[in-house]
Amino acid sequence: MCGFEKIIGQTQPIRILTTLLQNGNVPHALTFIGNQGIGKHTVATMFAMLCNCVGNVDAKNTNQSDSKQAITIGSIHSAPQIPNSELIYNPCGVCKVCRKIKSGNHPDIILIKPSGQFIKIEQIRDLRLIITMKPYSAKLRVVIIDDAQTMNQAAANALLKVLEEPPDRTVFILIAKNKRDLLPTITSRCQPIRFHPISLQHIEAMLMTQKNVVPEKATVLAAMSYGSFSKALSLLENDWINRRDLLIRTIWPGTVNARSVQSSAMIMALAARFARDKDNITEILDGIKSWLRDLLIYRYCPEKMINYDLIDKIHYMSEQITVGTLLEKLEAVQTAERKIRANANLRLTLDSLFMQLTR
């Protein structure tokens, strides 16, 4: 599969985009909003391919040559009426243009992503210089700004000036998790397209069929993925379930048959181990929150738990900890997250957090 059909669970945004192109009225700026890992960047790249493809389009389009279609960059407007028919537009995926875009080597398909933690004003200034010139060879130049919410204030203001007077034959695609993370003055100049989380059943099935994950494990990974297949794969590759079990055994060692208290040395050793795994600290903290969440909701909605495979321990532990204590521990995790985002010392932050969790 080389077309949109390989993208799971995003039929609605794909139909909107293909309808805009079929109508010959593509807005000069779009925002792709939704969780990470659900296909936003892939759809943006494929849309750039579709706008510029010079090969054969889907057989249903044989009477309407994509390569000759005029593309009008329009103003912001409401989403078009979406036909009930199946998708009829796909890039060929094999022509020279498609291959260049897919490999990231097309001069008129520009990708901007954070340099470090932020997208900086220098990157937007460089972009402004590039787009003052006509596209090198593309019918439609596409600028994809990934993690657009990471633009600092200066970069966002510089981009705003571009969007106020957009260049011809150029469309901007801003990719972000939440619309509220972008300046209102920017979002008001972009047509929003919302991407939805992939269903847990889809993710569970893909893990079992593509990665041969056993059903019980696939269910837990799908629940932890929050609708993102790439996150589910990351959890699988990082052996998250075994790390979760180690975390729970060390910080909450109680079992159905006995209760024990781990030594401070063991807890600090675990904090040191996880502090060395800086790239995966978000997954670790998400895992702690999912465990505390399960202890809370087991009393009220056990069917909505994430850690299904630990139901016996959750049943036992939920009876040992009060709701007030669980809420305090959740607040401690959220405080640790804020400190880490503010570049606090990771080891000291985890030391403090793990000690609070064991009280």
Q: Which CATH architecture has domain 4-194?
A: 3-Layer(aba) Sandwich (3.40)
End-to-end CA distance of the chain: 53
CATH number of 238-358: 1.20.272
Share of the chain above pLDDT 70, in %: 87
Average pLDDT, the chain: 84
C-alpha 230/C-alpha 37 separation (Å) is: 5
* Contacts of 108 by beta carbon, 8 Å cutoff, 6+ apart: 52, 135, 136, 137, 138, 141, 142
Q: What is the mean pLDDT of residues 3-29?
A: 84
Length of the chain: 359
Reported as a single tens digit per residue, the pLDDT across 179-236 is 998 999 999 999 999 998 888 888 999 899 999 999 989 998 998 888 888 889 989 9
Boundaries of every domain in the chain:
4-194, 238-358
Quick one: CA dihedral 231, 342, 115, 112, positive or negative?
A: positive
Other CB atoms within 10 Å distance of the CB of residue 15:
21
Reported as a single tens digit per residue, the pLDDT across 264-304 is 788 888 889 888 888 888 888 988 999 999 999 998 888 88
C-alpha 139/C-alpha 142 separation (Å) is: 10
Reported as a single tens digit per residue, the pLDDT across 338-347 is 999 888 999 9
C-alpha 228/C-alpha 197 separation (Å) is: 6
* Contacts of 338 by beta carbon, 8 Å cutoff, 6+ apart: none
Q: Quick check: 260 and 65 in contact, CB under 8 A? A: no
